[in-house]
């Protein structure tokens, strides 16, 4: 069935002279990798077409991948094809003008709670949207051209969204598609250095996080990155958010939460939820959020709601541990 949707998407790509590519706001490696990767494939294949990334925000952490395109005049959207990548719901698209395009194609690996687009290809078991773009390339490889540049972007998304090929969403396909990218001889030393080296000061901050994080009775690790902490360490919202990964390897803690207090909106706290063995997307959905089974995002609007979410997570972990074996 997905073959038919891929054929339909390929047909639309052939048809349009102008293709605008969109992604979710607050981009991560998969959002940037998949959009820049698809753009590089389409530009190499169809040099005569206008293929542009149209997004309103950027990422400091991923700035090494290079800039995106300037926003073009609104009138130029009317006869364009929009391809929205790595974005589960329409309200999360960075540039809301995507709706002005003649047709909208959605390609994504998030759970499809609120479908959108004239044509939608969603495979929520895939480890990344980049994996789907490589699948798309592989399906039409007689026509599409993969360059080393495209492979580098796509590999970035595959590596980051799979926790360096560690998450349980990684399948045989993930590795086979990653292999297609590695065949392009990309420089993984430089890529991994750009992605994972940490500043000395950030390591000092990590030491502070380890002191501050807490554990509930049943093993939910959590950290509240309040405004004072962000100011004290001069954290950008990106580095404040990255603290969630510092809690990902605690034995017995199968769920961990980072709460990031908003700098400019009173009483708004972003929540990043992560887990292993036990899905947590339903918890995120109960607090204005959603996402993947083991990696979701939400928002709470008071410290009281934050404490409530921690309690709910603790109860879920208790229930899970009582009824399942084999967790660590």
| Nearest distance from C-beta of residue 205 to ligand AMP, angstroms | 19
| Nearest distance from C-beta of residue 46 to ligand AMP, angstroms | 29
Residues 286-315 that bind ligand AMP (CB under 6 A): 289-292, 295-297
The SS3 call for residue 183 is coil
Minimal CA–CA distance to 35: which of 6, 56, 16, 12?
Answer: 56
| Nearest distance from C-beta of residue 106 to ligand AMP, angstroms | 14
Residues 231-250 that bind ligand AMP (CB under 6 A): none
The SS3 call for residue 137 is helix
Q: Which is nearer to ligand AMP, 43 or 270 (CB)?
A: 270
| Nearest distance from C-beta of residue 272 to ligand AMP, angstroms | 3
**Total residues interacting with ligand AMP, rule: CB under 6 A:** 12
Report which secondary-structure segment, H or E, holds 320.
helix 303-323
| Nearest distance from C-beta of residue 47 to ligand AMP, angstroms | 32
Q: Which is nearer to ligand AMP, 36 or 292 (CB)?
A: 292
| Per-position x/- string for 76-95, each x denoting binding to ligand AMP as judged by CB under 6 A, each - no binding | ------------xx------
Q: Which is nearer to ligand AMP, 136 or 294 (CB)?
A: 294
Residue 272 in contact with ligand AMP, rule: CB under 6 A: yes
**Concatenated DSSP letters for 191-239?**
HHHHHH---HHHHHHHHHHHHH-EE-TT-EEEEEE-HHHHHHTT--HHH
**Sign (positive or negative) of CA dihedral 238, 243, 248, 252:** negative
**Concatenated DSSP letters for 62-116?**
TGGG---PPPPPGGGGTTPEEEEES-SSGGGBSSGGGGGSSEEEEEE-S--SS--
The SS3 call for residue 20 is strand
Question: 234: which residues sit within 8 A by CB, 6+ positions away?
Answer: none
| Per-position x/- string for 109-128, each x denoting binding to ligand AMP as judged by CB under 6 A, each - no binding | -x------------------
| Per-position x/- string for 9-28, each x denoting binding to ligand AMP as judged by CB under 6 A, each - no binding | ---------------x----
Q: Which is nearer to ligand AMP, 33 or 291 (CB)?
A: 291
| Per-position x/- string for 41-80, each x denoting binding to ligand AMP as judged by CB under 6 A, each - no binding | ----------------------------------------
**Concatenated DSSP letters for 264-309?**
SSTT-EEEEEEESSS--HHHHHTTT-EE-SSEEEEEESSHHHHHHH
| Interface positions with ligand AMP (CB under 6 A) | 24, 88-89, 110, 272, 289-292, 295-297
């Amino acid at each position: 069935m997905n073959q038919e949707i891929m054929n339909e998407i390929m047909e639309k790509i052939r048809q349009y002279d102008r293709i605008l590519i969109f992604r979710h706001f607050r981009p991560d490696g998969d959002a940037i990798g998949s959009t820049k990767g698809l753009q590089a494939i389409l530009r190499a294949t169809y040099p005569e077409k206008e293929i542009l990334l149209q997004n309103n925000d950027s990422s400091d952490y991923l700035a090494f991948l290079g800039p995106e395109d300037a926003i073009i005049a609104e009138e130029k959207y009317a006869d364009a094809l929009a391809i929205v990548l790595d974005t589960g719901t329409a309200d999360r698209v960075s540039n809301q003008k995507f709706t002005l395009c003649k047709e909208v194609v959605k390609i994504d690996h998030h759970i499809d709670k609120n479908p959108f687009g004239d044509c939608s290809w969603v495979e929520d078991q895939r480890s990344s949207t980049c994996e789907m773009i490589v699948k798309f390339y592989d399906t039409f490889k007689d026509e599409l051209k993969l360059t080393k540049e495209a492979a580098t972007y796509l590999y970035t998304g595959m590596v980051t969204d799979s926790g360096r090929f560690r998450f349980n969403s990684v399948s045989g396909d993930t590795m086979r598609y990653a292999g297609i990218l590695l065949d392009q001889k990309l420089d993984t030393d430089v890529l991994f250095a750009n992605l994972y080296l940490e500043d000395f000061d950030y390591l000092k901050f990590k030491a502070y996080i380890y002191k501050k994080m807490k554990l509930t009775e049943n093993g939910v690790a959590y950290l509240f990155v309040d405004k004072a902490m962000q100011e004290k360490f001069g954290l950008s919202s990106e580095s404040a958010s990255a603290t969630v990964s510092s809690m990902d390897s605690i034995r017995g803690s199968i769920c961990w939460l980072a709460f990031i207090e908003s700098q400019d909106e009173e009483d708004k706290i972003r929540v990043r939820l992560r887990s292993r063995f036990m899905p947590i997307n339903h918890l995120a959905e109960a607090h204005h959020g959603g996402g993947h089974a083991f990696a979701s995002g939400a928002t709470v609007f008071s410290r009281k709601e934050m404490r409530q979410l921690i309690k709910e997570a603790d109860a879920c972990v208790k229930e899970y541990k009582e009824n399942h074996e084999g967790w660590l």
